[in-house]
Amino acid sequence: MEQMISEDIPRTNRGVPYVKMRDLKSLTGLPGSTIQHYANLGLLPGTVKTETNVAWYPPDTVARIRLIRLLQNRHRLSLAQIGDLFRKNAADDEVAVMASLHEVVFGQEDPQAISREVFIRDTGLTAEIVERLEALGLLLPVSDGKYDREDVMVASLARKALAMGVDLEDLTFYSDLVGKMVAREMKLRRGVSRGLSVEQNSAMTLELTRMGRAFRIYLFDRTFQKVILDSVSEEDPETL
């Protein structure tokens, strides 16, 4: 959607100037044809035209293009799926924040990710055990049919647990409790991010993610220490 204005260089309500196509190409590293394709699909904010018939793009178009590329390359969404995501969100802050959060949690995709067949062969687990681990929520590959180094590490832990006679069902309290913790953390994030800009929202989400990790490690370790000390104290008060 285009608007016609009389100013030579349009600006936002905050006074931030709009940008031309050449600026978008320079800032995103994409050819004009790709950017125009995104615009034609309705994936970009509407442009405005000056009396000289020059199209100007809102300054947040750069962030939108980078988000589209992230959703395409990292999350493997098609442009049709991305458009559907944008249409279902009155504002795409949530999409942007979730994409950023995904990057923090999982990092860059492992270029050495292996297939399911190779994963089973290299870890020594049977296909049935792999399926069971995934069904119990104990093995969560980032991509369907692709396994990274962390998945291999979990497979090693599962193999040791099985060798010790541990039933995999007895480990599901980890996945159950983690699911509840993540749900509460997301509820907390939504509560404190209301009304923030995309940039503020993303920055706050990253900070909350780091804070949550620190709290989890600290509280687990200290609680575990306390349980051990209390147990020793109950068994032999003179040892303390």
Helix ranges, 142-197 (H): 149-163, 172-193
Supply the pLDDT for residue 126: 96
Q: Are residues 126 and 231 in the same domain?
A: yes
Supply the pLDDT for residue 226: 92
Q: Are residues 48 and 119 in the same domain?
A: no
Interval 112-122 mean pLDDT: 91
pLDDT averaged over the chain? Answer: 82
Is 216 inside a domain boundary? yes
Supply the pLDDT for residue 106: 55
- Region of residue 12 (left: phi > 0; alpha: psi -120 to 50; beta: else): beta
Is 127 inside a domain boundary? yes
Neighbouring C-beta atoms of residue 73, cutoff 10 Å: 10
C-beta of residue 120 within 8 angstroms of C-beta of residue 126: yes
Give the distance, in angstroms, between the CA of residue 97 and the centroid of all CA atoms in the same chain.
8
pLDDT in tens, 144-192: 788 988 899 999 999 999 999 999 999 999 999 998 998 898 888 888 8
Q: Are residues 119 and 17 in the same domain?
A: no
Supply the pLDDT for residue 206: 74
Read off the DSSP letter of residue 195.
Answer: T
Supply the pLDDT for residue 5: 45
Say how far apart CA 138 and CA 229 lie, in whole Å: 29
Is 109 inside a domain boundary? no
Tell me whether residue 127 is exposed, middle or buried, using C-beta atoms within 10 angstroms of its C-beta: 0 to 12, 13 to 18, 19 or more: exposed
Is 101 inside a domain boundary? no
Q: For residues 195 and 214, which has the higher predicted lDDT (pLDDT)?
A: 214
Cβ partners under 8 Å of residue 158, min gap 6: 125, 129, 133, 138, 139, 168
Supply the pLDDT for residue 88: 64
What's this model's pTM, rounded to 2 decimal places? 0.56
pLDDT in tens, 20-32: 999 999 988 999 9
Which residue range forms the structural domain that includes residue 43? 2-88
Total domains present in the chain = 2
Supply the pLDDT for residue 30: 92
Q: For a pLDDT cut of 90, what percent of the chain falls above it?
A: 38
